[in-house]
Amino acid sequence: MILFRFINMFKIFFIIFMISSYAFADEIKGETKELSLSEAIVVAIKNNPSLKQLYHTKMSSEASVGMAKSDNYPSLDFNASSNLSDTKNIGGGESVSKNANVGIALNWLLYDFGATNANINATKQTLEAVNFEYNAKLSDLVFNVVDAYYYLLKTSEQVDASEINYKKSELSFEIAKNKYELGLVALNDKLQMETSYLKSEIDKNKAINDEKIAKGKLLLLLNLEPNKDIGVALPKSELEDNIDESDFLKLMENAINNRKEIASKMAEISRYKYEREALDKKDLPKISLTSDIGSGIKNLDGETKNYSGAVGLKLSVPIFTGYNSTYSKVQKQEQINRVKEELNELEASIKESVWSAYQEYKTSKLNYDVSNRLFVSAEQNEKVAFGAYQSGKGSMLNLITAQNDLIDARNEKTASLYNYLISRSKLLKEIGFLNMERFD
């Protein structure tokens, strides 16, 4: 009952979700709109063909459970027949008869030592496996959207940074050119500053191109046209960190307990076990209730009419099936053994992924803090170098070096922020805690 309540709740959620997401998806197909991360996830789920396929698979599996339950109900058959019989005797004479019969037959399985229930449980486990597979695919999709969304934010900020760098280089080049025209610096100083200025223009063009590519990748992930004009924004809540990284073994335990891929494999093992149980019970006797009610008319002229009725119990005992049952049991046991090995391999793979994600998260968190301090230092150094060069007290080489350091520090600050956010989302995904609700 709990399983079917879950399915009914899923249906209600799916209908509400589809109505709301259709309205939003139509909106973003129109004019330019700033797309929040939670909205991007909603659109991706609504438009993702793999999730739609799994939804229909879920509904098909639910129907299979109903089909399995049908064996608990009686079957009724209506029978009708009519025949003409013409018999000619050797000694002469002929006999013609016309007959018509109608009847209803009932067959109801009363007891089969639990074989039917085992089949029902097997189909329920198939349904659960599909449910867990759906949730696993959903988690993958959420992470892919988060990854693409943060990468677009990263490239957008790099465009802004490249514009700042470009304007600073342009200003420095103008100062160097004016000093050269006044005879205050050598031609080499002017050319070096011009080279730095032109390089900043190339970097700006590259950043703009990277942003366009990132935007196209996100839109394609949402199953939208890649040339759609949208805006993105970093949620303020995303800078809040609520991961307890003090106990790595606890994170590993959470991964094993929460990853839907593991739950799907365990449901698959249970399914094969129930199927094996059904095969065992299939070798045992079956008791059925049978009943027939009928009426017949002979010669169709009212000469003879008869009515019949019968009720009884039928006992069926399998004796020999040509070793079909034996080999079927061996097949199910081997399927159980195979999935168990797949489960062991999956657990090992998840542990490795959690360990890698955990280390990436810790490193990115440290780098994020260091990069902020690095940027503050590089920004102050560039201001000092620029002021000194502008007043004629500093060298052009020191200014170029300071500006390049600031460019690297600004890029590192931007990259470290989004590397940190992505690594955090990846760790949450690996331990089974990444879902849509985190970005509402």
Measured CA to CA, the distance from residue 375 to residue 329 in angstroms comes to: 67
Q: What percent of the chain has pLDDT over 70?
A: 85
Query: What's residue 238's pLDDT?
Result: 58
Q: What is the pLDDT of residues 298-333, one digit of tens each?
A: 665 556 677 888 889 989 998 888 888 899 999 999
Query: What's residue 231's pLDDT?
Result: 83
Please name each of the domains of the chain with its CATH number: 2-73+114-282+323-439 (1.20.1600.10), 74-111+284-317 (2.20.200.10)
What secondary structure, in 3-state letters, does the chain show?
CHHHHHHHHHHHHHHHHHHHHHHHHHHHCCCCEEECHHHHHHHHHHHCHHHHHHHHHHHHHHHHHHHHHHHHCCEEEEEEEEEEEEEECCCCCEEEEEEEEEEEEEEEEEECCCHHHHHHHHHHHHHHHHHHHHHHHHHHHHHHHHHHHHHHHHHHHHHHHHHHHHHHHHHHHHHHHHHHHCCCCCHHHHHHHHHHHHHHHHHHHHHHHHHHHHHHHHHHHCCCCCCCCEEECCCHHHHCCCCCCCCHHHHHHHHHHHCHHHHHHHHHHHHHHHHHHHHHHHCCCEEEEEEEEEEEEECCCCCEEEEEEEEEEEEECCCCCCCHHHHHHHHHHHHHHHHHHHHHHHHHHHHHHHHHHHHHHHHHHHHHHHHHHHHHHHHHHHHHHHHHHHCCCCCHHHHHHHHHHHHHHHHHHHHHHHHHHHHHHHHHHHCCCCCHHHHC
Measured CA to CA, the distance from residue 375 to residue 403 in angstroms comes to: 12
| Phi-psi label, residue 299: left if phi above 0, alpha if psi -120 to 50, beta otherwise | left
Exposure string over 405-415, b if 16+ CB within 10 A, otherwise e: bbbebbbbbbb
- Please give the model's pTM, rounded to 2 decimal places: 0.79
Q: Answer yes or no: are the C-beta atoms of 425 and 146 closer than 8 Å.
A: yes
Query: What's residue 247's pLDDT?
Result: 76
Measured CA to CA, the distance from residue 199 to residue 212 in angstroms comes to: 20
Query: What's residue 162's pLDDT?
Result: 92
Beta-carbon count within 10 A of 292 CB: 16
Measured CA to CA, the distance from residue 101 to residue 165 in angstroms comes to: 97
Nearest C-alpha neighbor of 279 from the set 335, 234, 348: 335
Query: What's residue 262's pLDDT?
Result: 95
Query: What's residue 260's pLDDT?
Result: 93
Measured CA to CA, the distance from residue 296 to residue 281 in angstroms comes to: 40
Measured CA to CA, the distance from residue 196 to residue 400 in angstroms comes to: 7
Instruction: Please list the ranges in the chain whose pLDDT falls under 50.
Output: 1-27, 30
